[in-house]
Amino acid sequence: MTEPAEVSALELAARTAIAYRRETAAAERTPVAGYAAIHAAFAAPVPEQGGDPASIIAELTEHATPGIRAQTGPRFFGWVIGNSHPTGVAADWLASAWGQNAANVSAAPAASAVEAVAAGWLLDLLGLPRESSVGFSTGATVANTICLGAARSELLRRQGWDVEADGLFGAPELPVLIGADAHATVFVGLKLLGLGARRVVAVASDDTGRMLPDALAEAVAACARPPLVIAQAGQINTGACDPFEAIAPIVREAGGWLHVDGAFGLWAQAAPARAHLTRGVELADSWATDGHKWLQTPYDCGFAIVRDADAHRRAMAVSASYLPPPGEFERDPSAYVPELSRRARGFATWAMIRQFGRAGIAEMVEGCCAIASHMGDTLGREQGVTLVSPVTLNQFMLRFDDDDAVTLAVVAAVQADAVAYIGSSQWRGQWVMRVSVSSCATTMADADLTIASVLRCLAQVRGG
Ligand SMILES: Cc1ncc(COP(=O)(O)O)c(C=O)c1O
């Protein structure tokens, strides 16, 4: 039974969270304390004795709050970060309070069943083959790794090699081709899977980061064996999506496996006005995407989707005599991720899809894209401001006075102005201001406030 003191800790956490979320929209200048100050506030010897639950939560709140950045605020454009929508947060609170270990169906029947339903909804919303299997991971980095693991398993199995049993020593060589503007995290998966970050072949891309089909065809033709090809929906600087309709047949004809890193861009599939950008993506063999970006779930939540469910399970499933097997029509969550004990991510996923519905998701994705276009186009019309490539999705880049130092100074000034948070990036060797619009809390009014801040900061930088 939960003691009154523990109940008050739960109530205090709920009240604190609600107060924080109410004030976040108005918050300026977060965080007000940095790493060193927060570390100093927490640093202490291991407590010899335990404490009172509510006091511990009060202490955590007091010491951590100054270092909390308002990532859920409506003018956070620094990275592709959704909103940790309250409905998803509430579902996630329950996942924690229920303490469900979503390892297997026997341990957690509700968590397993809700994951199964949410998995089906995801395939429907994203327009992906209904026979695909879905693993609920921490995020797209791990989802990519899972999908690449399934690809490795299947491509080697077709050549008579059981990589799960025999590893990679002595295995047939597995050629890996990857778009030149792939996200850095994909290389984590390649490293972990023994495919090597350096031995992969980069396929040339265009000015916006889209893989060039002719370059891919040439690279595929040079492969001695069927390749694993890694494409993407949503380049992190430009938002560009690879031309899947053109590249999927090239990979298929070579007997290869096409994987798509669609951490955020795959959600264009759920917005009819943007779905042309990802046309043909359903022809791939596997897809990674995030819940904690465009579906607005709280962290952490990603999805590894694999057309060949057997390959997916072969690469991931755990079996042990003490773990009861699932029934014929039941889903074992651990069969699709490299974890046994883990959070029941299906609850927040289900809750967010239930929150928005198909129409709401389409509207939200389209809304972010429209805001990005408005900001990019408006600022790009200003003298000395260059919109580096046209806004097609939710990401765009600006360069000021075609000068690295001016551009970085404007980014720093905008961060100091604290109306909005925007970061920098490099594109084709030059510094840019990189803007990501991915929160359901952001409105056109927020866009206009941000535009005004950027222009004010530019004038300030120019004025010295
Ligand atoms: C295209 C792309 N792939 C992968 C990732 C990594 O995703 P996560 O941070 O959820 O692991 C990101 C993150 O921004 C991304 O934009």
219-230 pLDDT tens trace: 999 999 999 999
Q: How far apart are CA 308 and CA 106, in angstroms?
A: 25
For ligand 1, say whether the CB of 300 is within 6 Å of any of its atoms. Answer: no
pLDDT at 108 over 80: yes
pLDDT at 26 over 60: yes
State which of 71, 138, 141, 297 you would mutate to test the pocket of ligand 1, scoring each by most atoms of that ligand within 8 A of its C-beta.
141
Overall residue count recorded for the chain in this entry: 464
Residues 395-432 pLDDT 10s: 999 999 999 999 999 999 999 999 999 999 999 999 99
Domain match, 207 and 113 both = yes
* CA distances, 89 to each of 62, 94, 340 (Å): 21, 9, 23
Q: How far apart are CA 350 and CA 311, in angstroms?
A: 25
Domain match, 182 and 290 both = yes
Domain match, 62 and 191 both = no
For ligand 1, say whether the CB of 264 is within 6 Å of any of its atoms. Answer: yes
Residue-level pLDDT at 368? 98
Domain match, 297 and 335 both = yes
Which amino acid is residue 231, in one-letter code?
A
For ligand 1, say whether the CB of 234 is within 6 Å of any of its atoms. Answer: yes
CB neighbour list of residue 414: distance below 8 Å, 6 or more residues apart: 420, 422, 433, 453, 454, 457
For ligand 1, say whether the CB of 179 is within 6 Å of any of its atoms. Answer: no
Band the pLDDT of 28: cuts 50, 70, 90. Answer: low
Q: Does some domain include residue 66?
A: yes
DSSP state of 28: -
Q: Does some domain include residue 403?
A: no
What is the mean predicted confidence (pLDDT) over 116-135? 98
Question: In degrees, to the nearest 5, what angle opens at C-alpha 264 toward C-alphas 262 and 266?
Answer: 50
Domain match, 198 and 57 both = no
Q: Does some domain include residue 209?
A: yes
115 contacts 346 by C-beta, under 8 angstroms: yes
What is the mean predicted confidence (pLDDT) over 118-122? 98
Q: Does some domain include residue 398?
A: no
Question: Containing domain of residue 108, as a range?
Answer: 91-352
Domain match, 40 and 95 both = no
Tell me the CATH number at 315: 3.40.640.10
Residues 293-336 pLDDT 10s: 999 999 999 999 999 999 999 999 887 777 777 777 899 999 99
Domains in the chain, number: 2
Domain match, 258 and 175 both = yes
Final residue in a domain of this structure, among 322, 352, 382: 352
Question: Which pTM value belongs to this model?
Answer: 0.96
Q: How far apart are CA 60 and CA 260, in angstroms?
A: 40
